[in-house]
Amino acid sequence: MVSQTPHLTGPAPAPNVAAIRYELITLGDELLLGLTANSHLTFIGAALGRRGASLTRNVTITDEAGAIADQFRESWARSDVVITTGGLGPTCDDRTREVIAGVLGQDLVFEPAVLADIEARFARLGRKMTDNNLKQAYRFSRGEILPNANGTAPGLWVEQDGKLLVMLPGPPNELHPMFTEQVLPRLAERGLVARREAYVQIRTAGIGESALEMRLQPLLAPHGAALNIAFCAHQGQVDVRLSSPDGTRDEAGLEAIAKDCATLLGDDFVCYGHDSLAKVCADLLRAGEHTLAVAETATGGLLANCFTDIVGASKFFAGGCVCYSNESKMQLLDVPEDLLLQHGAVSAENAVAMAAGVAERLGADYGLAVTGFAGPCGGTRENPVGTIYLALYTPGGVWSRRLSQSGPRGAVKQRAVNGALDWLRRELVRGKRGGSRPPSG
């Protein structure tokens, strides 16, 4: 295979970064055994994608030395840049450094400064450094160290044969800052990624993948092969990503197409980019100087957690209640006992009482409530497993709606949350436009 060799040193001559062959090797029995998620693919793929580059392949293999050597040889031969993750740590199954040095014919040399860092780290944590940590202080003889501010194993940067090898530690809290703060700037310096983002994504909600494709077809089809279109559905949201495979559409051109799509989609359009529904709601709440409180049964804290994942959530988020017992609904949210006895906890009436109760208790402008049966147990003939009642308390009144979800407990919870968030979003958008009609239900 002939590869477009990137320009690895000197000033960047702005090559076509999309043509650079990136391959990611994620190492670890724990990945293949499903003991831990391969979040490195998600993180590194997204970070490169935002800079116009993309992974041609991600291969996950076992920690076994022979497998590492074989895979690295194969990936190195066909790629311009190989990134590895994992296997740099202190334990006996961490052998990536040694094996790859062997394949590249490099020696490992001891780096006293790294050992000093590791020792200082253990001292700070009040733990004794065990001897198996020593091997992390070795670098490739013709390579550099990428310091690790959040763990013991530094990353390694190796340029050889006109190619680049980047070796990163496995723990995400170590890898993420190392990649963002050290690897991306170095890649940009060498012209291996763009200096800024290079595609357009539209996020939608409340419309299925196939219906969305049909709806956008009149706008997108005329562009033919000059436009790359990728759909990605996840729990009630569908993303559409537009890019220009050959550079014939520049950024402004893509943005114009995306803008037409957004206009066509109306309120089904959530945002450009990757913001979560909760983040979009948060921005709308902050813009309107509104506050929100939530009350949950079936989603059990997941709704509150979506908001509290947002930095600075205390500016708009008053708090939430997770009410698993009738007692807690009465105690925390002032839901009348009579109402619970008459209508049951999974009812529109209770959802409304919860939304109003939490907003009033916490002095919030908006109250969002979710109740229902997440399953797999529970449910009645009238309200089977997957039945969710939402209620939205607003300055203009309080409304409820009913959803039917299917799938395992986790999926029902996530979709109920997304349904609640999307409803709040539509109501906030309508409020911003000055609309006064009740939320669609």
In the bound complex, what is the minimum distance in angstroms from residue 13's beta carbon to a copy of itself?
25
Q: How many CB atoms lie within 10 A of CB 5?
A: 13
DSSP-derived secondary structure for 24-78: EEEE-HHHHTTSS--HHHHHHHHHHHTTT--EEEEEEE-S-HHHHHHHHHHHHHH
Annotate each residue in 117-146 with x if it binds a copy of itself (CB under 8 A) or - if it does not, as one string.
----------x--x-xx-------------
Nearer to a copy of itself, 64 or 159 (CB): 64
Phi, psi angle pair for 240, to nearest 5°: -120, 125
Is 246 a binder of a copy of itself (CB under 8 A)? no
Is 239 a binder of a copy of itself (CB under 8 A)? yes
Is 319 a binder of a copy of itself (CB under 8 A)? yes
The token pair at 58 is 């991600």
Sequence-ordered alpha helix ranges (H) in 140-194: 172-178, 184-189
Strands (E), 193-291: 200-205, 228-234, 237-243, 269-272
Which of 7, 15, 29, 429 binds a copy of itself (CB under 8 A)? It is 29
Amino acid at 256: A
Is 303 a binder of a copy of itself (CB under 8 A)? yes
In the bound complex, what is the minimum distance in angstroms from residue 80's beta carbon to a copy of itself?
16
- b/e string for 161-181 if b means 16 or more Cβ within 10 A? eebbbbbbbbbbebbbebbee
Give the range of 102-110, 247-255, 382-390, 406-414 binding a copy of itself by CB under 8 A.
406-414
Is 321 a binder of a copy of itself (CB under 8 A)? yes
Give the range of 49-57, 161-169, 247-255, 336-344 binding a copy of itself by CB under 8 A.
49-57
Is 318 a binder of a copy of itself (CB under 8 A)? yes
Which of 141, 314, 342, 380 binds a copy of itself (CB under 8 A)? It is 314
Residues 261-300 that bind a copy of itself (CB under 8 A): 274, 293-294, 299-300
Is 42 a binder of a copy of itself (CB under 8 A)? yes
Give the range of 76-84, 171-179, 383-391, 395-403 binding a copy of itself by CB under 8 A.
171-179
Is 1 a binder of a copy of itself (CB under 8 A)? no
In the bound complex, what is the minimum distance in angstroms from residue 379's beta carbon to a copy of itself?
13
Residues 81-120 that bind a copy of itself (CB under 8 A): 89-93
In the bound complex, what is the minimum distance in angstroms from residue 328's beta carbon to a copy of itself?
4
Nearer to a copy of itself, 158 or 261 (CB): 261
51 with 197: CB under 8 angstroms?
yes
Nearer to a copy of itself, 143 or 182 (CB): 182
The token pair at 189 is 């310096």
Nearer to a copy of itself, 387 or 430 (CB): 387
The token pair at 251 is 């950024």
State the DSSP H helix or E strand holding residue 117, giving kind and residue range, or none if neither.
helix 112-125
Is 16 a binder of a copy of itself (CB under 8 A)? no
Burial group, residue 339, by CB count within 10 angstroms (0-12, 13-18, 19+): middle
Residues in binding contact with a copy of itself, number by CB under 8 A: 106
Nearer to a copy of itself, 53 or 158 (CB): 53
DSSP-derived secondary structure for 328-346: HHHHHH---HHHHHHH-SS
Is 148 a binder of a copy of itself (CB under 8 A)? no
Which of 21, 58, 265, 426 binds a copy of itself (CB under 8 A)? It is 58
346-350 long-range contacts (CB < 8 A, ≥24 apart) are 346/297, 346/371, 346/372, 346/373, 346/380, 346/383, 346/387, 346/389, 347/371, 347/383, 347/389, 348/389, 348/391, 348/400, 348/402, 350/389
Is 20 a binder of a copy of itself (CB under 8 A)? no
* Nearest to 41, CA basis, from 151, 165, 170, 136: 170
Is 339 a binder of a copy of itself (CB under 8 A)? no
CA distances (Å), 277 to each of 47, 221, 273, 438, in order? 21, 28, 11, 21
Give the range of 154-162, 211-219, 276-284, 432-440 binding a copy of itself by CB under 8 A.
211-219
In the bound complex, what is the minimum distance in angstroms from residue 439's beta carbon to a copy of itself?
19
